[in-house]
Amino acid sequence: MSLIHLGFSVIAFIIAYGLIFTFTPVLLGSVFTTMDALPDISNEGYSGLYETNKTTVQYLIPLIPAISIFILVIRVLMRSAER
């Protein structure tokens, strides 16, 4: 019974993370495209924060598959340690 639960939870995790991996770049790309089309931000602090967030997101999006593999391995190891 425990292995069936582990299998279902792994499959559900892969499906959910697959959806995140598919839609996150699309949504964030549309947000940044829209924001870049607007006039420049007059507030220096907010402009710097926006550029920092944009750069961070551009570096983190390609890491989504690696992060998911790491989380999946930790999840399976924690489940197996319970038994």
Q: Structure pTM?
A: 0.63
pLDDT at 8: 84
Dihedral angle sign, alpha carbons of residues 41, 47, 51, 54:
negative
Q: Determine which helix (DSSP H) or strand (DSSP E) holds 66, and give its type and residue range.
A: helix 64-82
Instruction: Provide the token pair at 55.
Output: 């750069």
Q: What is the length of the chain?
A: 83
List per-residue pLDDT tens for the chain, 83 residues long. 677 777 888 888 888 888 888 898 899 889 889 988 888 888 888 889 989 999 999 898 888 888 888 888 888 888 777 76
pLDDT at 64: 84
Query: How far is C-alpha 67 from the chain's CA centre?
Result: 8
pLDDT at 1: 61
Query: C-alpha angle 26/32/33, rounded to 5°?
Result: 85
